[in-house]
Structure 1
């Protein structure tokens, strides 16, 4: 937490505001990993989710959380994301982490199928303890839209310490590249624009490592 203590005065500044959230939407440029996913039989959404969550853990500022007025750093993530059910209503998919990409994707696909087959809202997250619930990052994908802005709901607008990430419709970029609209909402006491840049760069590097042949 030494790194956080260096910016505690920034935290105190933003945490005292009516809304401490910073929300940036931008076109995220990535290596085009879709051909690799097709070759490997893996769903692009879940491969990207794996890269995104691994990147969140690598950029320390996205690991800070707030509980009972105290700041702490999470050491793990509980993957979750939004899905739609058979009536096109939103639901939540939750599953256990795996460091193995194929196992992670398999668990994510199974969680999506479970959430998609539920009429009622999946409230499994409600069984988590207060500290366990902080081990989340809120993920939503809107694959039909190339959005340019987004407003995420927040249980407490004054303390949006759990980051909310969203991405939209893929589009072709330069040869071998793709772009997608990407949104990051986080507590400004923890995260600045530079850290969002770090997250974007780390996601691209993670995907490059996944699709590149082993040396």
Structure 2
């Protein structure tokens, strides 16, 4: 544990998330109204995700699917995504409410993305290291391919971040995130609405073990 880094990172997370929420408040209000008008209530989508050391918290996003769609196995995510919801995802505006998760200390601005709780038992010991830190709104895998990468590639980048994390690396990731969002890079995996299911290590995948599907970032 790098105590000085963790303290400074947390201070910056709180400061930047608070400023971000303040500056983005007009956008948040417009998006919330648009979701309400086009999809109705609820405006926000909440789902349990594992955070640091696997502790569960409720991630919050703008809803992008029909009611109940995001709580189901997303094999047919493309059909459940609304037109406005699809646009929200391509612009990453659906992620803005997660600044609240950052303020609460459940997430960081930079870190491995929080996935589904079912995946905890599927990680290899090395992949499980992604939970040594707080999950992030953006991370190394988000700026180097996102959902276009294979799971092995994505988790390798997550573990690389955990091993080499620093304020300098966090800053580079944040700056590169702006480019990634503007260019809308890596939003979907080939043949999926967002990402394919993570089956676990190769030997489990070939054995046909399946569980809840990951269809959301």
| TM-score, normalised relative to structure 1 | 0.29
Higher relative contact order (CA 8 A, sep 6+): 1
Give the structure with the higher percent strand: 1
Higher helix share: 2
Q: TM-score, normalised by structure 2?
A: 0.29
